[in-house]
Amino acid sequence: MSQQIPPAAVLAEGMIAGDHWIQVQPEQIRATLSRLQAEGFTYFLFLTCVDHLATPLLQQPPQRFELVYQLRDLKQRREIRVRVFLPEERPEIASVQDIFAAANWDERETWDMFGIEFEGHPNLERILMPEDWIGHPLRRDFPVGGEPVDFSEDHETWQTAPPQA
């Protein structure tokens, strides 16, 4: 597989539970995705973000935010996952909605939920939350919210992220 992807851009590559993935530099995301599209990965499945704040993993992820792009080749029936790591301060990346039109709403959702900025997105505004909402709910330091429940394991059930030191 690796010869099909621009070799300079790929930082790491692997398989996990049968899923093929590559990791690229954030600056290379547009080049990588257009190259993959030309190679037959024409179907954009989803784009999302993973917040690695205070991860218990032994092998620490390089940055706090991990963007995941999942693409599919309908003809050869294969999939690929492209990973990009973004820093905690001002996470931003180039928009790919002109390469994959289906990424438009996914980018808006990722902005809404994680506060990742997509440069060059024509309409980067909140999609799920009300427009006057403050904060990005799916970040791990955003509380789950709701109301306290008596006699429940509050400390375990409602605390997503450990308290900030």
Partner 1 sequence: MSAPAGPMTEHVQGMTIQRSRLQGRDGDLLTVNFGPQHPSTHGVLRLIVDLEGEVIRGLKPVIGYLHTGIEKQMEALRWQQAVVLTDRHDYLSPPINNLAYALAVEKLLGVEAPPRAQVLRVIMSELTRLSSHVVWLGTSSLELGAMSAFMYGFREREKVMDLNEEISGFRMHTSYIRPGGVFADATPRFLEMLDAFIREMPRNVDEYENLLTRNPIWIARTKDIGHLTPEDAIRLAASGPMLRGSGINWDLRKDRPYSGYEKYDWEVAVENGCDCYARYLVRIREMRESVKILRQALDSLPPGPVNIDDRKILPPPREELETSMEAVIHHFKLATEGYSLPPGDVYVAVESGRGENGCYIVSDGTHKPRRAKFRSASFVNIQALEQLALGSMVADLIAVIGTADAVLGDVDR
Partner 2 sequence: MGVEQLLEPLGENVLTTTVGKLVGWGRANSVWPAQFGLACCAIEMMAAAGPAYDLGRFGSEAMRASPRQSDLMIVAGRVSQKMAPVLRQIYDQMPEPKWVISMGACASTGGVFNNYAILQGVDKIVPVDVYVPGCPPRPEDLINGLMILQEKIKAQGIRSRV
**Residue numbers of the site for partner 1 (CB under 8 A)?**
16-19, 42-46, 48, 50-52, 55-57, 68, 70, 74, 77, 79, 81, 100-102, 104-105, 113, 126-132, 137-138, 140, 142, 144-145, 157-160
d(CA 159, CA 154): 7
Binding of residue 129 to partner 2 (CB under 8 A): yes
Print the SS3 string covering 105-157: HHHHHHHHHHCCEEECCCCCCCCCCCCCCCCCCCCCCCCCCCCCCCCCCHHHH
Spatial contact of 117 and 110, defined as CB atoms under 8 Å apart: no
User: Considering only 3-11, 72-80, 88-96, 145-153, which stretch makes contact with partner 2 by CB under 8 A?
Assistant: 145-153
Binding of residue 102 to partner 2 (CB under 8 A): no
Contact positions vs partner 2 (CB under 8 A): 128-130, 133, 137, 142-147, 149, 158
